[in-house]
Chains A and B, each alone.
Chain A
Amino acid sequence: MDLLLTHFWELTITGLAIGAVYSLVALGYTLVYGVLRLINFAHSEVFMWGSFAAVWVLMAAGAGKASGLGLAGYLILGLVAAMAVSAIVALLLEFVAYRPLRKRNSPPLIALISAIGASFTLSELMGLRDKPLKWFNASGLQDYLGRPRENLPFPLQVETKRLFYVFNYHVSNIDVIVLVSAIVMMVILDQFIKRSRLGRGIRAVAQDPEAAALMGVNRDRVIRLTFLIGGLMAGAAAMMYLLKIGVTRYNAGFILGVKAFTAAVLGGIGNLRGALLGGFILGVAENYGSALFGSNWKDVVAFVLLVVILLFRPTGLLGESLGKARA
């Protein structure tokens, strides 16, 4: 209890920072769920591939200790790489694992099996990344690959600077970078969905796919778009995750994916703002929980919170707005 009180602001702010990562990944789940009514189980692997892309690009760019403009350059480079690769993986996933099913009108549980299969495939491909090396005899790349089943460290080292105080917590530059860029991205996405033509298409399909089709919305294009956006956000989340955590591995996506999905459900799945709120609440609650009960119980706190909230608000905190109407 003491720990919680004395470190209250530190726990809150670092919780918000990790919550921002959950939120960005949760957006991918919530968008796809809103449009397709599908738990995109493989979304966590999209995130994981993005994190590897960021690590590799920054390794190739020779990133090390950096500050000032150099740091900004590296950050943008890593962010772009992660977002690009995540988006490509997300689109591929849609094309290979989900589109054939949609064409056949398969029952929803089958889509989940396909998603599970895709998730295994994507994560194992990364876990076996040293194999092709032996075929091509390209041992020069060994440093890049690391040990395939172990952690791969993030090359960019950001010198921690303490910027300003929030009550008694001295906020670090990493917290600021993560929080600010996450919030900027969320605002852009929110406005995009709300105001743009494409965003309107997404909302229309989520509300009523048949009516949307009759009004001339191209459903396939909307679905591709949602996967693309989900991938971009997962890539951004991957970069922020690396800044906060510092390593990635082939199965890094799994637990994070479960958490992010929890966040999406917490806020009301299919609801963009719900995903954001859910992510932040989950991040902060986990931190408080680990201060209260010890860090071993962090994940238990997260899930118990979810169960309790679902009991009292069965559609999540903000309800299911993006694709309501159909139960």
Chain B
Amino acid sequence: MSTVSTTLHRVGDRFRSLPRPAKLALAVLAVLLVYLLPIINPPLITTTDSDFGAVLFSCAMYALVAIGLNIVIGYAGLLDLGYIGFFAVGAFTVGVLGSQHGKLPLLLCIPAAMAVTMVSGVLLGAPTLRVRGDYLAIVTLGFGEIIRLVLVNTNWLGASRGISNIPSPPSIDLFGVPHLVWNGAVASIDLGNETRFLQFSVTDSIPFYWLTLTIVLVVLFLDWLMQNSRVGRAWEATREDEDAAELMGVPTFRFKLLAFATGAAIGGLSGALFATKQAFINPDNFTIIYSVLFVAMVVVGGQGNRWGVVLAAALLTWAPEKFRFLSDARFLLFGMALMALAIFRPQGLLPPRRTVRAKQADEETEVLEEGVAHA
């Protein structure tokens, strides 16, 4: 396990030390490869029992969720166990505005969904962020469940039937992209099976995957900007020592609220994407267990490292689909894997560098202190 992450870190180092044009070229190549994954259908990675395009869409969508939750948990250090609530608010805002009670086009629905979730994040955060960490966990858990129960019990929101006919993004039909088929190690082009470039429909998930992936990349960039700004430093200070941060003049409460609202908006955005891809949502899509899974993604990936959480989100979404032949046992295995990970790799798959350094420093002081105690 640890060799995996040192290798990943080493790859990161090697990448950083390259000259600029090479860096750019490599990055473009990697991104292109990720975009083309559903077309290439790589033999070992592709899922045989479920539509690979749909699985990739889920991976990208959950990666977005994990980026959002990483802001709340990883940067600001707030344990949020009700993230599915924001996801649901986003999805249902799109449903209500686009289908149930209005005919707004999707491109207006999505910003509206983000705005509504942001407001709901502030409304939840303003009273609750003052309580201590462990309490926040249970309050948010309660919030997630309240949202679901409200959805189940409110006729205006479709009650347990949910909302159908959610609009798709506008399509522009430009050209078709044929898929590859693999026969052992030999690939051939399957002309009968092609994806129309940017034709959003229920039958083909790949355009939705492209859309979501694009959004993920944009959000990753914004996330990077944010973390390296004054805001990011304020979050870090608040997470490490709230009292000290407050004394240094950081308005910790306001920054916690900002983290909460930003995380909520990203959660709402992913919920909105989920709604348009599915075209049909009902409260069963938003059970509390997802909140737990989301937290697992962030912690497994290494809280605070955006690439780590993206990787973990994709992995935790893809693995159950890939190993669908294990059918019933996959959640059992998932549970055992989480336990094993917590025991053998407590810092997550890809911990942020700062954590690694801080831990080393901690260990050094510990050794020093013990030396004093023994003397």
* Assembly CA distance A47 to B343 (angstroms): 24
Q: Which residues of B contact A294 (CB under 8 A)?
A: 153
A28, chain B: closest CB distance, angstroms: 15
Chain A 288-300: CB-based contact to B (< 8 A → 1; otherwise 0): 0000001011011
Interface size class of A (residues with CB under 8 A): 35 or more
Which of B132, B142, B150, B337 meets A307, CB within 8 Å? B142
Q: Which residues of A contact B139 (CB under 8 A)?
A: 306-307, 310
Q: Would you call B146 and A265 a contact (CB within 8 A)?
A: no
* Assembly CA distance A97 to B339 (angstroms): 7
Q: Would you call A128 and B332 a contact (CB within 8 A)?
A: yes
Chain B 133-173: CB-based contact to A (< 8 A → 1; otherwise 0): 01101110111011001101100000000000000000000
Which of B328, B335, B342 meets A101, CB within 8 Å? B342
A214, chain B: closest CB distance, angstroms: 13
**A118 and B335 in contact (CB under 8 A), knowing A39-B134, A297-B149?**
yes
Comparing A69-77, A109-117, A153-161, A183-191, the segment that makes contact with chain B is A109-117
* Assembly CA distance A188 to B160 (angstroms): 45
* Assembly CA distance A111 to B295 (angstroms): 12
Does B130 belong to the interface (CB within 8 Å)? yes
Q: Would you call B342 and A258 a contact (CB within 8 A)?
A: no
Which of B135, B138, B300, B329 meets A113, CB within 8 Å? B300
Q: Would you call B146 and A304 a contact (CB within 8 A)?
A: yes
Q: Would you call B335 and A120 a contact (CB within 8 A)?
A: yes
Chain B 334-375: CB-based contact to A (< 8 A → 1; otherwise 0): 111111111100100000000000000000000000000000
Q: Would you call B143 and A303 a contact (CB within 8 A)?
A: yes
Q: Which residues of B contact A96 (CB under 8 A)?
A: 339
Q: Which residues of B contact A314 (CB under 8 A)?
A: 130-132, 135
Query: What DSSP secondary structure best describes chain B's contact surface?
Result: helix
* Assembly CA distance A300 to B142 (angstroms): 8
Q: Which residues of A contact B128 (CB under 8 A)?
A: 307, 310-311
Does B39 belong to the interface (CB within 8 Å)? no
A314, chain B: closest CB distance, angstroms: 5
Q: Which residues of A contact B331 (CB under 8 A)?
A: 120, 124, 127
* Total residue contacts A-B, CB cutoff 8 A: 130
Does B292 belong to the interface (CB within 8 Å)? yes
Q: Which residues of B contact A101 (CB under 8 A)?
A: 342-343, 346
Chain A 115-136: CB-based contact to B (< 8 A → 1; otherwise 0): 0111111101101100100000
Q: Would you call B130 and A117 a contact (CB within 8 A)?
A: no
Q: Would you call A110 and B342 a contact (CB within 8 A)?
A: yes
B87, chain A: closest CB distance, angstroms: 18
Q: Would you call B145 and A303 a contact (CB within 8 A)?
A: yes
Does A325 belong to the interface (CB within 8 Å)? no
Q: Would you call B332 and A303 a contact (CB within 8 A)?
A: no
Q: Would you call A121 and B335 a contact (CB within 8 A)?
A: yes
Does B99 belong to the interface (CB within 8 Å)? no
Q: Would you call A110 and B145 a contact (CB within 8 A)?
A: no
Q: Which residues of A contact B337 (CB under 8 A)?
A: 117
A252-269 with Cβ < 8 A to chain B: 254, 258, 261-262, 265, 269
| Residue among B138, B145, B295, B296 with max Cβ neighbours from chain A (10 Å) | B138
| Residue among B128, B134, B150, B153 with max Cβ neighbours from chain A (10 Å) | B134
Q: Would you call A296 and B149 a contact (CB within 8 A)?
A: yes
* Assembly CA distance A101 to B134 (angstroms): 19
**A114 and B342 in contact (CB under 8 A), knowing A125-B332, A258-B288, A314-B132?**
yes
Does B79 belong to the interface (CB within 8 Å)? yes
Q: Which residues of B contact A304 (CB under 8 A)?
A: 146
Does B102 belong to the interface (CB within 8 Å)? no
Q: Which residues of A contact B328 (CB under 8 A)?
A: 127-128, 131
| Residue among B335, B337, B342, B343 with max Cβ neighbours from chain A (10 Å) | B342
Q: Would you call B299 and A113 a contact (CB within 8 A)?
A: yes
Nearest residue (CB) in B for A96 is B339
Q: Would you call A303 and B338 a contact (CB within 8 A)?
A: no
Binding site for A on B (CB under 8 A): 73, 79, 127-128, 130-132, 134-135, 137-139, 141-143, 145-146, 149-150, 152-153, 288-289, 292, 295-296, 299-300, 303, 328-329, 331-332, 334-343, 346
Can you give 15 contacting A-B residue pairs, CB < 8 Å? A96-B339, A114-B339, A116-B295, A116-B296, A117-B339, A117-B342, A124-B329, A128-B332, A296-B153, A297-B153, A303-B142, A303-B145, A307-B128, A307-B142, A310-B131
Known: A101-B342, A124-B332; 11 extra A-B contacts, CB below 8 A, are A101-B346, A113-B299, A117-B340, A117-B342, A118-B335, A120-B338, A124-B329, A296-B153, A300-B146, A306-B138, A311-B128
